Amino acid sequence: MTANLGSIDRVLRVVLGIALLVLAFGGMSVFFAAGAPKWIAAAAGVILLATAGMRFCPLYRIFGIRTCKI
């Protein structure tokens, strides 16, 4: 897997991933209290954190996007 995420992209993914996990499990929002929205937000947060950690996004590869410098 060749890295295809740049620094800014990684930081945004980490911030958004943490925010989604806090919304899902923090109990601050009635919308995310239970059911599908909670688990979708949690899954999206984990995926965002994982892709940021690996510096690789499979969807970027499919669409030919690369935000990191060569």
Please write the tens of the pLDDT for every residue from 18-28. Answer: 999 999 998 77
Residue 48 to residues 14, 30, 45, 70: CA-CA distances in angstroms? 7, 23, 5, 22
The domains of the chain are located at 7-63
Residue 16 to residues 8, 35, 61: CA-CA distances in angstroms? 12, 21, 21
Has residue 48 got a pLDDT over 90?
yes
Taking residues 31-41, report their average pLDDT: 87
Q: Is the full-model pTM beyond 0.85?
A: yes
Judge contact between 57 and 12, C-beta under 8 A.
no
